[in-house]
Structure formats: C-alpha cells, structure tokens
Structure 1
C-alpha cells in the first residue's frame, strides 16, 4: 500500500475539515432550542446575508443572475436538505457518530460520479467502496438501536438522516461538475445559500419554536452560518472546481477527527471502542475509494 505525494490542496482540506468538524457542535447547540428546520433555515440565511455584500463588492452579481437556477437547486440539495437532516440527527445521536457517518460522503460520491459522470472506479477504489460500506453497516448495527433513547427518538432514524444527507452531498457534487460552468466559488457559494434559504423559509416558519432562542444559541447560529457555511462553502466549491467532485468530497475523511475531539472536550460525549473501530474501517474505505491511498502500483 502506497500513499500519494502531498498536494497543494491538502492544506485547504485540513482547514475545511477543522471548520466543518465544529459545525456538528454548533448545530447541536442551536437545534436543542430551535429544532432542526429553523436551525437549518437560519444557518443558510445568515450565510447568504454574509456572502451577498461580498459578492456585490466583487462585481459577481451578474454571473449569479445568469446562472441562478442550477445554483439555487444545488443549494437545496447541498445545504438545505442536508443541514435539516443533520440538525435532526445531532439531537438524537452524538456529534461524533454523526461526523463518522458524514465520512461516507466520498463513498456515495464515487458511486454517483461513476454512474453519472462515467468516472469508473478501479480495483483499489472498488475495494474501498466495499470496505467503507461494510464499516457503515457494522457501525449502524452496533450504535443505531430501534429503541427510543432519552430524546424519545430511536437512534436508527438519526443514522438514516445522516446517510440521507450524505447522498444529497454526493448528488450535488456531481451536479455541480456537470451543470454549473466554471464560476468564481463565491458565486456558487452565495447562490446556493440563497436557494437553500428560500426553500427552507416556509417549513421553518411552520415549525418555528415557541420561544426566542437564547444568546448562547444565537452565538452558535452566527458561527455555523458565517464560518462553517459562508466561508467554508467558498473553499468547498473552489475545491470542486480545482480537483473534481470525487476528490473534493474527501474532505469528510478528516472531519470526524475534529468533530469527535470537539464533542468529547466541549460536550462531554463518550466515544466507544466499537465506534472508533468501525470509524477507522469507514475512513480507510473512504481513503481507498477516493484515491487518497491505493493498493499496488500507483497510477501515473
């Protein structure tokens, strides 16, 4: 087994993983007071409001008006639906488990890129897909009980929500590569958050909380909206443009490391040996399926 040489975008991956790893923590804090749909809606609205003035100052507004339809659709698929699903999930399972399940994004991404874009996986990547999904099955079998926990919801449904979000991410990455032309990342990032905000507005109003959130929750929302969404998605769409969807999605390889650390230190969450073992299997499968590492001769 050989490792690929260091690439310039590795630093960007680590920074994005550091940021996105904290998003599970902030979503949990906010969702406990607002609920999942309002949390997701406020998150993308804050991100859109933060990014729009920057877009205008850079003179990119005409580009967004020209390509708004596919960009808005990507926002629903890549932000609106997944953020709502994860906000629901972190209310009922640990942020560490949620982040490990999030690491399956490149697995689904490789399958979608194969079926949609014709990016057929080789022997090493196929082994990674099989290994990754086996790890997910073991993890879900050991951690996702059908018995309701203290929150009144069976963890199985939270696990299923996480996997649904990862499928959305995989679909949106290939859609972006196929249907959105090469645009400044700021255009795609801003438009996608605007599309997600519009899509979530009515559902969030319908399921709005009875009481105004505390300053603690607002702080979490501002952080997850500006840092974990607005700034992070500029970097994310830049990675898709420069490396392609399959490689860009491998950022989730490192997210669980930071998310588990935040959860243990700041939320007092417990990490079981079974979770760690299955998580390592998932991450190894992810690394193989995305080409980050491969078995045998390295491709040239």
Structure 2
C-alpha cells in the first residue's frame, strides 16, 4: 500500500469517526429524523451531481426505484435514525464502538440468509463480541439508566439493520455502478424519512454548531467519504480497505474526547479491543482475501462503508 493510499485510509477512518461527533451535536437541536433526512438528501444530491458529471448511467435510479427504497430503508434511514436517537443519551465515542459490531451481525445474517459457513472461529468471535458489549455496559462512562440501556440497544439494532442492508446491497451491486448505488440509497432513504422528518420539525432554528454539524455530516461524512472510499477500493482492493473497520471507532472516541470532553474510560478501551478482536475472528480477513469480489465490496452496504453513524 502506497503512502497516498495509507493516508486516504486514515483520512476515511477519521471522517467516518467524525460522523458520531456531528450527530451528537446536531441531534438534540433538530431531532434524529430531521437530521438524517437532511443528511441523506444533501448527500444524495451532491453524489448525483458527481454521477452526472462523470456521465455514469443513471437509468437504474428510475427502473429500480422500489429496490432503492428498500435499500435506503435498511442501510440508511432506519440505522441512521436509530444511531441519532441513541446519541441523545450516550456519548459519541460509545456509539462509535457499538457501531463497530456491524461486521459481526453481517456474518450472522450472511450465515442465515446466504448459507455461509459459521465455523468455530466465528463462534469464538461472536462470544468475544458479546463480552465486549457487556464490558462497555458494565464500565459505561455514563450512569446505567433505562434510557442509556435503550440507547445502547438502539445502536446495536442499527448495526443489525446495516447487516441486512449489506446482504441486500450485495445483490444489487452486481449490475449497478457503486456510485449510482450510493446515490439511490441516499435518495431512497430521503424519501422514506420525509414524512417522519416533516412531523418532527423543531420549534426553533438550530444554532451555528448544529448547522455546521449537519453540513459536515452530509457533505464530508457521506458524500466526500464515498468519493474517497471508491478509489481506495479500486487501488488497494476491498480487503485492505476493510481495515478502516478498526479506525472508525478509534477516531470516534478521539473526536468525542477532543471536542466534546467525553471521557475515555478503561471500560471503553477494553470493550473496544474485545469487539475489534471479535471482528477479526468473525470476518476472517485472510480467507476473504482469497475470494473477495471488488464489485461486491464496493457497494455502499459492505463492511467498510457501513461503519459511519
């Protein structure tokens, strides 16, 4: 991997980690549904402009609009909103760690839906993941109230939705260009979220911090992130790009500590280590390297690109 690609990978991890920071700032000001409606709509329009500029075929956006509604629901609208709702009650760093369980859930869903093997190595990884989440809960940086427990559950449920979205996106990616798939996902999610967002408009205009966070979440953490991600897939392959899995929660913790003053506790570090080790066991990166499919990995529902709030 060249220095340029390594820098791109680190930058991508930092950008996706920052999404949890932006959500933590903006969600209390505008509400989870409206925040995510603005995110996917603005990002979708920005990516659509890129698709048009690159003269990529956009016929699939019209002919497969029903599938994009399903994809947008599974892989953006529902999980994005769940994460935003959870960050009303838990720190950004904790939400980032919980989101890193996504590859574990994806392996489980793939085993159930696609008939993929679930050998003892993956079972061990699953067990480590459970211990990691339990460690986070037991040594939580916030008081373990009912709201916090429900928030943690919402974050984990978001990861489950990402897993189902991954399987669905993998099927669509066989004959739809990745960037077009990303546009369809965002615009599909915007359509699904529109009624809920309209029903939960805030009473007051958000302050500057919330506005900047919305813009950062939409353009930087979504649109720009995809434009970094797809060239990385093409240059270094899906397996190496998958290593961003390990960078996102770390950057999420650091951004929360630097800008929001969130504590970094031993429980967070211990839980993060256990979860990332479990991801290593469950995803079995070495085996994937021999059989990886670049087109499939480039879909917006794959392991690397799902790891944003």
TM range (shorter): 0.7 to 0.9
Q: Distance in 2 between matches of 1:250 and 1:156?
A: 29
Partner of 2:37: 41
Give the C-alpha shift of residue 176 in structure 1.
Answer: 1.1
Paired residues, what number? 285
Partner of 2:61: 64
What secondary structure does 1:65 align onto?
helix
Partner of 2:162: 169
Does 2:248 align with 1:255? yes
The answer (yes or no) to whether the contact 2:138–2:267 under 8 Å persists in 1 is no
Partner of 2:76: 79
* Residue 122 of structure 1, aligned match among 119, 125, 129: 119
Give the C-alpha shift of residue 240 in structure 1.
Answer: 8.7
What secondary structure does 2:29 align onto?
helix
Please give the residue correspondences for 1:1-300 in structure 2 after superposition, counting only pairs within 5 Å. Answer: 13-59=9-55, 60-143=57-140, 147=145, 154-233=147-226, 243=238, 251-292=244-285
Give the C-alpha shift of residue 103 in structure 1.
Answer: 0.8
The answer (yes or no) to whether the contact 1:105–1:170 under 8 Å persists in 2 is yes
What secondary structure does 1:119 align onto?
coil
Unaligned runs of 5+ in 1: 149-153
Give the C-alpha shift of residue 238 in structure 1.
Answer: 7.8
Q: Distance in 2 between matches of 1:93 and 1:279?
A: 16
Residues 34-79 of structure 1 show CA distances to partners (whole Å, capped at 9, x for unaligned) of 1111111111111112112222223322232233322232111111
What secondary structure does 1:181 align onto?
coil
Question: TM-score if structure 2 supplies the norm length?
Answer: 0.82
Please give the root-mean-square deviation of Cα atoms over the aligned residues, in Å.
2.9
Question: TM-score if structure 1 supplies the norm length?
Answer: 0.85
Q: Distance in 1 between matches of 2:232 and 2:109?
A: 18
Give the C-alpha shift of residue 290 in structure 1.
Answer: 1.1
Q: Distance in 1 between matches of 2:125 and 2:6?
A: 20
The answer (yes or no) to whether the contact 2:24–2:91 under 8 Å persists in 1 is no
